[in-house]
Structure 1
Amino acid sequence: MLRKILNIALISFWVLTASAQMRELVFDEVVPTNEPPKIDGKLDDPCWKNAMVHDKYYAYFKENPPRASAKTEMRLLYDEKGLYLGIINFEPNIAKLKKNISTPDAQDTWTDDCAELYFDRYADGIGYRRFCINCIGTMNDTMRLDEANMRSEWSADGWTAKTSINSDNWVIEAFFPWSDLGQKPAVGEVWTMLHNRYSPQDGANSGYSCSSPGGNLVNTKNFGFLCFTDGKGKSNHDEIAGIINKRVAPPWGLAIDNGLLKNDGSKVSFEPFEDLLKKQQTAFDEKMAACEKAVSTVKNPEIAKLFEKTKEAYQKVKANDGKSLSYVLQLIAMDTVLDDIKWKIELESL
């Protein structure tokens, strides 16, 4: 009996400690510009070539989200006057864009093909300034002071945006004066932000995506980091890790420079993505095969059902998104489920 109690205690301890899953983060750098762009919805100004490109987008409002199927690119620049934004929304069904809302500051602007932009200058997940722009240039804004205080009547009075619709994409070009964002950041200052892309052509949210995994109007702690640099060079891994470690508890991971910068709780390290993917895939495949063999030896239908569900989820994830950090993190999450199945089998044998 004592041995059985000890085994159950060890299993319970493992389940609790295994639940600390690595959080995937987003970190973007904004460089200054001496020649601001003309806000005309074209993104053809030379300065945009100096902006860093954010092109990692994730399925919206999903746990362990895979990469989004819709391709999107975002660029940001800044100067003494404010922040400049450029977004290219690639769209194979351009004729099906939803563009019904034309009334300025309409609260339902977000129901069209549009961009929602959240800026949190304090980077604390409490409040934000929200700006919405649909594909025909209709603009709407709101402010959140905290979870209990949303000011839909608030209106920023200086920002401007223009859009253009092309054969296979639609474009946003916008300018936000610092007064609309709350303050001008100092060099090296870190904000958080989120870009949601809404593409409701199929009448559901399957076409929705976001710039930071798990980020949305509710999960403000999952906004991506935005660092205002001096433009003299890209921050190195140690500098970025130092910024993140002040704000996020480990374990965390950041896809950068074709690899993974991570803090596993014991140290900060960088691993080339191909090496990471190969190692994680091999380990998962071996565990999947061992688990399948073990499941075949027990008669509990619930365990078999859980394994089949995990197997189906794995096959779906691999088919849709088999080469990104999101995929690796989903492997890690499913690896935890396989370990859970393993311990359920162990309990059956007690």
Structure 2
Amino acid sequence: MMVRNWVIGLIGTFAVFAPAQQQDLFKPLPPMRWTPRHYECLRTNQKFHIDGKLDEKDWQKAPWTDSFLDIEGSDKPAPIYRTRMKMLWDDEYLYIGAEMEEPDVKATLTKHDSVIFHDNDFEAFLKPRATESGYFEFEINALNTGWDLYLNKPYREGGKADNSWDSTGLKTAVTVQGTLNNSADRDHGWTVEIALPWKGFDSRQPVSAPKPGAMWRANFSRVEWIAGHPREENWVWSPQGVINMHVPDRWGYLEFRDSKD
């Protein structure tokens, strides 16, 4: 899960995981050398069938983000596979669609709340309330296995991960453009579709459907394990300058807007 959860609360107990690379969870932050990215999330009146295809009319009109970059910034090598995403919202849900280019789509984890970043994955980090220190995280792999957790504040500030949070009413789907777990052929990639209900946050923070003009801090990432590489790759929507996703002040801005129709 890119770069970060060494210490993760699992059902009230902390366990220590050892990814391939020591993450910079507690190191001093280098200067921020670029402007965080910004995305206008448009309102939709369409009802979606969550199937991982992103083929409804309003999905087709929603703008894609720029391609993801290395978590440390554009001065690092560019990702070898493209990742991009788009978002919409209505009175019930925040919708997230992501597209991952991948020549050999693989996944192994099937149990909800597994440590999903041990597979290749897609991840969302959402901070709905600027006045609160807490934020939400969701990860998903190509088998449509999810991991949702809440952090009361960043690890560097003494935060703890709450793995008991589950987003009530969450809907997710994945489609694979190719064949899953078959290295004998070449795949195109995989697509994720997420419908995250506003009420799903309520057990940790009250979050209502936003008003047009509302702004959240948010970031989105992809962990990619490449054969022969000494560590996982961490590709993100808005680079942070440090191998640590848990720095909300360095995330991008998600702005909610009315439909442009």
- Per the shorter chain, which TM-score range? 0.7 to 0.9
In 2, distance between residues paired with 1:74 and 1:21? 24
Find the counterpart in structure 1 of residue 21 from structure 2. none
Find the counterpart in structure 1 of residue 214 from structure 2. 189
In 2, distance between residues paired with 1:57 and 1:209? 6
The question of whether the paired residues in 2 share the 8 Å contact of 1:65 and 1:214 is answered with no
TM-score normalized by the length of structure 1: 0.56
Find the counterpart in structure 2 of residue 84 from structure 1. 95
| Larger helix share, 1 or 2 | 1
3-state SS of paired residue (1:173): strand
The 1:22/1:209 distance shift into structure 2, 3 A limit, reads closer
Q: How far is the alpha carbon of 1:206 from its aligned partner?
A: 5.1
Find the counterpart in structure 2 of residue 121 from structure 1. 128
The 1:126/1:68 distance shift into structure 2, 3 A limit, reads farther
Letter paired with 2:109: I
Considering Cα pairs closer than 8 Å and 6+ residues apart, tell me whether 1 or 2 has the greater RCO. 2
Letter paired with 2:36: L
Q: How far is the alpha carbon of 1:205 from its aligned partner?
A: 3.9
The question of whether the paired residues in 2 share the 8 Å contact of 1:60 and 1:208 is answered with yes
Q: How far is the alpha carbon of 1:25 from its aligned partner?
A: 1.6
- Identity across matched positions, percent: 25
Find the counterpart in structure 2 of residue 212 from structure 1. 238
- 1:171 corresponds to 2:191: yes
Find the counterpart in structure 2 of residue 135 from structure 1. 142
The question of whether the paired residues in 2 share the 8 Å contact of 1:98 and 1:200 is answered with no
5+ residue gaps, structure 1, are 1-18, 234-350
Letter paired with 2:39: D
Q: How far is the alpha carbon of 1:187 from its aligned partner?
A: 1.0
Q: How far is the alpha carbon of 1:65 from its aligned partner?
A: 4.5
Letter paired with 2:118: T
Q: How far is the alpha carbon of 1:194 from its aligned partner?
A: 1.0
Find the counterpart in structure 2 of residue 55 from structure 1. 66
In 1, distance between residues paired with 2:231 and 2:55? 31
What is the CA RMSD across the aligned residues, in angstroms? 2.4
Of 40, 45, 56, 2:51 maps to 40
Letter paired with 1:192: R
In 2, distance between residues paired with 1:205 and 1:125? 33
1:285-304 → structure 2 map (5 Å cutoff): none
Find the counterpart in structure 2 of residue 225 from structure 1. 253
| Larger strand share, 1 or 2 | 2
Q: How far is the alpha carbon of 1:34 from its aligned partner?
A: 1.0
The 1:46/1:133 distance shift into structure 2, 3 A limit, reads same
Letter paired with 1:102: T
The 1:223/1:205 distance shift into structure 2, 3 A limit, reads farther
The question of whether the paired residues in 2 share the 8 Å contact of 1:199 and 1:205 is answered with no
The 1:171/1:125 distance shift into structure 2, 3 A limit, reads farther
Deviations along 1:271-328, one digit per CA (max 9) or x if unpaired, are: xxxxxxxxxxxxxxxxxxxxxxxxxxxxxxxxxxxxxxxxxxxxxxxxxxxxxxxxxx
The question of whether the paired residues in 2 share the 8 Å contact of 1:197 and 1:208 is answered with yes
3-state SS of paired residue (1:153): coil
Of 135, 141, 151, 1:144 maps to 151
Letter paired with 2:107: K
Find the counterpart in structure 2 of residue 200 from structure 1. 225
In 2, distance between residues paired with 1:200 and 1:49? 30
In 2, distance between residues paired with 1:20 and 1:136? 38
* Greater Rg by CA: 1
5+ residue gaps, structure 2, are 1-29, 179-187, 202-206
In 2, distance between residues paired with 1:44 and 1:177? 20
Q: How far is the alpha carbon of 1:231 from its aligned partner?
A: 2.2
1:249-328 → structure 2 map (5 Å cutoff): none
3-state SS of paired residue (1:193): strand
Letter paired with 1:200: W
The question of whether the paired residues in 1 share the 8 Å contact of 2:32 and 2:240 is answered with no
TM-score normalized by the length of structure 2: 0.73
In 2, distance between residues paired with 1:112 and 1:198? 8
The 1:21/1:207 distance shift into structure 2, 3 A limit, reads closer
Q: How far is the alpha carbon of 1:61 from its aligned partner?
A: 4.6
Letter paired with 1:89: M
In 2, distance between residues paired with 1:114 and 1:26? 21
How many equivalent pairs are there? 211
Find the counterpart in structure 2 of residue 105 from structure 1. 113
In 2, distance between residues paired with 1:129 and 1:22? 26
3-state SS of paired residue (1:24): coil
Q: How far is the alpha carbon of 1:36 from its aligned partner?
A: 2.7
The 1:210/1:21 distance shift into structure 2, 3 A limit, reads closer
In 2, distance between residues paired with 1:187 and 1:122? 15
